[in-house]
Structure formats: structure tokens, C-alpha cells
Amino acid sequence: MTAAAPSLPAILGPIRPRPRGRETRLLVIVAVTILVGSVSLELARRVTDPGESQGLSPANPLHLAIYLGLIGIAHVVLILSGRRMDQILLPATAMLGGISLLLMERLPQTQVVQSVGPWTLGLGDIQLAWLILSFSLATILAVTVRSDRWLRLYKYTWAAAGVGLLVATYFLGDDINGQRLSLSLGPISGQPAELLKVILVVFLAGYLSEYRPLLVEESTKVGPISLPPLPFLAPMVAMWAIALGLVVVQRDLGAALLFFTVFLCLLYAATGRVGYVVVGVVLFLAGSFVMYHLVATVQTRVDIWLDPFKSASGDGYQIVQSLYAFARGGLLGTGLGAGLPTVGGNLPIPAVHTDFPLAALGEELGLVGVMAILGLFLVVVERGLRIAASAADEFRALLAAGLALVIGTQALIIAAGNLKLIPLTGITLPFVSYGGSSLLVNGIIVGLLLALSDRGVEPPPPPRPRSRLARLTGRVTRLETPDRARAPLPPAREPGR
């Protein structure tokens, strides 16, 4: 590799504050909304007859103050950084995080209990800690990342690291419910698949931006379908294999679906070819069909999806309870804290804090609340895609689009699963679900998106010579031999050779 070493993120330069008026106004709305929610929750707790315990936890005003204070600090730091960054992303995600905090405060704190030193932390405490870390990470990345070289230049390294994580999880991971999703490193454990999402987007953005012109060439014909030169199909097949591998090895259907969807979206964005997406969907369906017959987990999930009410007290229990929760909410909801009736002290949906937060919110905030939450995700996606569309070069565009798609697609998949629109897959609702890995990675995504949105960011490096691997693969295609001129390689590559 002859490429320049990646420049480390520059530390804060001289402070030149730049006002962020829109962000300020939106954050005030967020703060007021969350405060109103917290008051409503407290009122619900007080009127609830203690005899019929709803499993309501006392709201902790300190938690809320810490959270809102943290968002305020993040806002001030962004102002002080003087960068011209997007002003919608932080308020939108802060709102989602605030809703999450309200929900986790309201659920029985014993859902998750951890002991750290002398303290025993409950659900709300831990979620607050992760939210703090997540938004801190977002802010730090937003302020410090001034170059994307460290992502751009090492796409294969990143890809290798991602696959390495996956392999490590398989061999070293902790077995929970027959799924091997988390990896422990000393006292810290996390789900590498979460980080893999970002790594994958980085790799895809790098790969697709480099080979974009070649991918559009039609050199392989399979019947009526035109495909890109065969070697460039390799990543598509590789993605497909990784997705299937996730299903077979880790039983992680949600991550598999997410990766593949994001991949197809990015492939379309890079090539504009609907045909590729069609081929991808066909591959996906074929893979799903085989998986359905080979992997018991997949079969169970699909059967539950087709008729959960048939096994309402067995396999279909959670999804049926989720639908009951949505139904109880109706149009306007029961009100925060007035839903989720407990029977014998048990929550109706055991995994409500990880997999079904939308069902809980759908019950307490109603259809109106669900629409608002979906709207927030749509806003995040829209901002991300907007950053992508106005990015300085293709890598950044695809990177920003991919990062936004990760959040948007993940929200879609779990929401659709909760609502029985697709088979349920256990992934988190970004920023809302309980879970450290997920929150941290979402923080990274927002931080990167904010950094990418700065028009003053370092200009992209000049197109660089193609890597050795690409030269190798390029030679195999027919492009090289008959008509070199067709290879849309810029002249700038010559000196680097």
C-alpha cells in the first residue's frame, strides 16, 4: 500500500463559536415534551391504586435532569466547535432518547439489574448511563472528525475486522437463548453485530464508490438479465453469504435482514440499476426459502408470523401480547404509565424493553404516538440522505446514505416485526430500545453523520490509483483487453503507478 497514513482526527482548533438557532429551538421543544411526559408519568403513578400494581416505577427527576443537561452540553459543544453541521439530527435523536428514558424509567426497574461496585443499578439507571455515553460519543465524533481518510483508505481492513469480530463472536461469544450474539471482554460485554453494521457501511461505501462505473457495465448476461462484470458480483454474493452465515451460525435473523437491505439500497444508490435490486431480492427469497427448510429457528419465526394466535400461549405469546398492547392503545393511547397491565406482577411482554418498546409506546401513546415516533425516524433518515446528496464526493455520499439507512431500516424491521407485518426478528429500535451496544453504535452513526454534514470538512482526496486487487480483477474482465478507453479511469492514476 502506497497510500498516505491516515491523519488522526484533529483536536479542537481555536474556538470560533457559530450559533445553531434552529437546533436551539428544536431542543427546547424536545425538553418541554420530555418534561410534560415525565409529569404525566408521575400523575399516572399517583392515581394508580396501589392495590392493582401496574409495575410503575417512581420517576426519577434527577435522571431526567441529567439527560436534558447532557443534551444541552452537547448542543453547546457543537456551537463552540464552530462547524456548520446539520441542526436537525441532534434534536430528533435526543427526542427518541428522551422517550426511551421515560419508558425505561416507567418499566419495572428489576427488568435489568446490574451491580457496579457498591451500587445496584436498575433498568433506568443503566439506560441513562448508555444514553450519556452514546450522545457523548456522537458529540465527540461530530466535533473531532475532520477527515474521512481513516475510513476511506482501509475498507478491506475494516471488512476484515468486521468478519474477524463475527468469527470471534462465534468461537468466544456467550450463549444466550441458543443465540451467540455477545462477546465479553473482561467486565464489558457487547454485541459485535451492532458495530458490524457501521463497518459494513464503511466497506460498502468504499467499494461501491470505487467500482461504481464498472458496476454499471453490462458484461455478464444471464438470460434476459444483464449483470455487472462477474468479478464485481463477488461482493453481492459475499454479502448474501454473510447474511446467510449470520442466520445459520448466529441465528441472528434481524441483523441478516438489516445488512442485506442496507446493501441493496446502497447498491441501487451507487448504480441506479433496479435490475440488481431485483436479482438481490430473488437471491434473498431463495436464501430465505432454503433457510426456512433448514433452520428450525427460521421456520418457527415464520410459522408464528403466519398465525401467532394459534400458539397465543406458546411460541406466539410475545407477538400476540404485542398486538394486544397496540390494540389497547387505540387511537390516542392509554396515557404514559397507564398501560401494560401486569398479571400476577408479570409484564405482559417480557422483552418489552429490548424488542418491543414500540408496542409499549403504541399502547400508552396510541396510534398518534406511533406515527410521531415513526416520523422522528423518517426525519433522521431524511437528514442523513440529504447530507449524502450534498456530499462532496461519492464515498462520503454513500457513507452518509448507508449510515442513515442503518438507522432507518433497523427501525422499519423491528416496527414491522412488532406489528406482525413481517416475521419478528430480535433487533433493537434505534435510540429507544434498552441496550448498550446498540446505543453506542447509534451514537457513532449520528456523530459521523454530523461530521459528514459539515461543508467545511477536509476536501476529499484526489482519486487514487486502483488497488492491486482491483487491477487483478479488472484484468479478468473483458473491459481491459478490447477497449481500454472504456474503462472510466481518470488520468490522474497514471503518476501513481
**Residue 348 binds to other proteins (criterion: CB under 8 A):** yes
Does 385 participate in binding other proteins (rule CB under 8 A)? Answer: yes
Q: Which of residues 290-319 bind other proteins (CB under 8 A)?
A: 312-313
Using left for φ > 0, alpha for ψ between -120 and 50, and beta otherwise, residue 431 falls in: left
Candidates 6, 213, 350, 461; binder of other proteins (CB under 8 A) is: 213
CA atoms of 15 and 269, how far apart (whole Å): 37
Quote the CA–CA distance of 168 and 374 in Å, as a whole number: 35
| Helix, strand, coil tally for the chain in percent (to 5) | 65, 5, 30
- Among 185, 485, 494, 495, the residue binding other proteins under the rule CB under 8 A is 485
End-to-end Cα, the chain, rounded Å = 12
- Give the residue, chosen from 150, 156, 170, 268, that forms a contact with other proteins under the rule CB under 8 A: 268
Tell me if 326 contacts other proteins by CB under 8 A.
yes
Residues in binding contact with other proteins, number by CB under 8 A? 69
What minimum distance in Å lies between the beta carbon of 330 and other proteins? Answer: 5
**Interaction residues for other proteins, span 426-445 (CB under 8 A):** none
Instruction: Name the minimum Å distance from CB 328 to other proteins.
Output: 6
The reply on whether position 161 binds other proteins by CB under 8 A is no
Exactly one of 51, 118, 178, 186 binds other proteins (CB under 8 A); that residue is 51
Q: In the complex, what is the shortest distance from the CB of residue 54 to other proteins, in angstroms, rounded to a whole number?
A: 9
The Cα–Cα gap between 259 and 413 comes to 11
Is the CA virtual torsion 145, 147, 152, 157 positive or negative?
Answer: negative
Tell me which residue has cell 434552529.
Answer: 22
Question: What's the rounded Cα separation, in Å, for the pair 387 and 148?
Answer: 15
Using CB under 8 A, pick the residue from 76, 378, 392, 470 that binds other proteins. 378
427 vs 442: CA distance, rounded Å = 13
CA–CA separation, 23 vs 86, rounded Å? 9
Determine, following the binding rule CB under 8 A, whether residue 69 of this chain makes contact with other proteins: no
Q: Which is nearer to other proteins, 97 or 369 (CB)?
A: 369
Q: Which listed residue (323, 336, 352, 403) binds other proteins by CB under 8 A? A: 323
Instruction: List CB contacts of 100: < 8 A, sequence separation 6 or more.
Output: 127, 131, 357, 431, 432, 433, 434
Nearer Cβ to other proteins (208/446):
208
If one asks whether residue 343 binds other proteins (CB under 8 A), the answer comes out as yes
Name, in order, each residue with C-beta under 8 angstroms of 308's C-beta and a sequence gap of 6 or more.
316, 319, 320, 323, 420
Which residue of 123, 151, 412, 440 would you call a contact of other proteins, by CB under 8 A?
412
Q: Check binding of 342 to other proteins (CB under 8 A).
A: yes
Instruction: Tell the smallest beta-carbon distance from residue 327 to other proteins (Å).
Output: 3
Residue 112 makes CB contacts below 8 A (sequence gap 6+) with 122, 123, 126, 353, 434
CB 326 within 8 A of CB 438: no
Task: Give the number of residues written for the chain.
Answer: 497
Segment lying near other proteins (by CB under 8 A), choices 27-35, 45-53, 75-83, 123-131: 45-53
If binding is defined by CB under 8 A, does position 127 make contact with other proteins? Answer: no
Q: How far is the CB of 382 from other proteins (least distance, A)?
A: 6
Residue among 11, 15, 21, 52 that touches other proteins (CB under 8 A): 52
The helices-and-strands tally (H runs, E runs) of the chain is 17, 7
Q: At 485, which helix (H) or strand (E)?
A: none
Which window, 98-106, 132-140, 284-292, 359-367, contacts other proteins (CB under 8 A)? 359-367
Q: Count CB-CB contacts under 10 A for residue 75.
A: 20
Q: What is the CA 393 to chain-centroid distance, rounded?
A: 23
Find the binder of other proteins among 112, 257, 291, 397 (CB under 8 A).
397
Q: Please give the residue ranges that form the binding site for other proteins (CB under 8 A).
A: 47, 51-52, 212-213, 215-218, 265, 268-272, 312-313, 320-321, 323-324, 326-335, 338, 341-343, 348, 362, 366-367, 370-371, 374, 377-378, 381-382, 385, 388-390, 394, 397-398, 401, 405, 408-409, 412, 415-416, 419-421, 463, 485-486, 488, 490-491
